[in-house]
Amino acid sequence: MIALALSVSVTVVSCKKGLDKIENAVAQAGEDQSQAIIDFNNNFLESYKSSSRHVENIIQYAEAAVKKSKGETVYSMPMVINSMDYSLSKIKGVPSGFDSEQKIIETELVTYKRRRESIEKKYEELKSYITSEDYKDDQGAKALALQKDIDAEAKAFFTAGENIVTKIKPATEAAEEVILKDHPMRDYIISSKSVMNDLDAVMDILDKQYTQGFNEAEAQKKYNELEKAVDVNAKKEFDVQGKQYAYKKTLFENFNKRATEFLDKYRKLIRDSKTSNKIPDGNIQEISSAYDSVLNSYNSFVQ
């Protein structure tokens, strides 16, 4: 079974400079290297998604730890579940198909791994400090120092992660073209990816508006673009020959269903945000959950 590139909710800036060279290098490398690029992309994006949530939980724990150590009321400490990054463990190296970007990606990947490990160690140290109530001896000085360290490491972690995503995207897209050249589901995959691209654009806009203020005209414009892409995809009749693709029909329909449900939440968000020109917390949580559902159904379909 051919594995295709997953999508993930991250901010990516495509670099056009040298893109033709990358595409040519991938095309010349052939299908095996193209698959290696896609596998690397999928494993890294899965790692970045799960590890980002873990790091964000640790940041929240550190914030609560500082408050608690200063004597402020903290009813319950944020939960941080032990996280084993299985996807990262699958990455044994950076494929040569990334061409001139290979060394850069390798360097960023080292930073990404080291920062994640460092954050985990500092969290364990902070947890021990809070559990033993050692803050009663130093009035919370160590909690504050560890929080600053965790914040700095997290910034470096996210910077490395975003840099890797940016660097792997052009080669991954070129590799998909190689893999999809004669793929029976080519039309459905490309159309579904178009939906995901519009969906990611929506999430970028809403993320900005959540902190900077709601802009109805901009939100509605993105809604209209997404609605059109979803409508085009949903009207496609899945007709792919071969028993090995029969189950994909249900996955394709499920993806379109989840995308339609996202639009329902999006309309609700626009309506609820109009009066105060601010996106309510509840709506942003709903839309984020709906996005995850669409993303998971897309990944199930293309895998």
Given this chain, do its domains 19-179 and 186-302 carry the same CATH topology?
A: no
The torsion region of residue 242 among left (phi > 0), alpha (psi -120 to 50) and beta comes to left
- At 211 the pLDDT is 86
Q: Please, what's the b/e burial string for 140-172 (b: 16 or more CB within 10 A of its CB; e: otherwise)? A: bebbbebbebbeebbebbbebbbbbbbbbbbbb
- At 257 the pLDDT is 98
- At 154 the pLDDT is 97
- At 30 the pLDDT is 65
CB atoms near residue 277 (< 10 Å): 11
Checking if the pLDDT of 18 tops 50, the result is no
pLDDT digits (tens, 9 = 90+) for 35-55: 899 899 989 988 998 899 899
- At 85 the pLDDT is 87
Hey, is 184 helix, strand or coil? coil
Domain range list for the chain:
19-179, 186-302
pLDDT digits (tens, 9 = 90+) for 141-168: 999 999 999 999 999 999 999 999 999 9
The second-level CATH assignment, the architecture, of 19-179 is Up-down Bundle (1.20)
The Cα diameter of the chain in Å comes to: 71
> Could you give the residue ranges of the DSSP H alpha helices within 244-280?
248-273
Q: Which residue from 192, 183, 293, 298 is spatially nearest to 244, judged by alpha carbons?
A: 183
What fold characterizes domain 186-302? Methane Monooxygenase Hydroxylase; Chain G, domain 1 (1.20.58)
Q: Are 38 and 179 in contact (CB under 8 A)?
A: yes
- Cα–Cα dist 218/206, whole Å: 10
- At 21 the pLDDT is 45
pLDDT digits (tens, 9 = 90+) for 208-219: 899 899 999 999
- At 17 the pLDDT is 36
- At 106 the pLDDT is 98
pTM for the structure as a whole: 0.75
Give residue 191's identity as a one-letter amino acid code: S
Query: At which residue do the structure tokens 């029969």 appear?
Result: 246
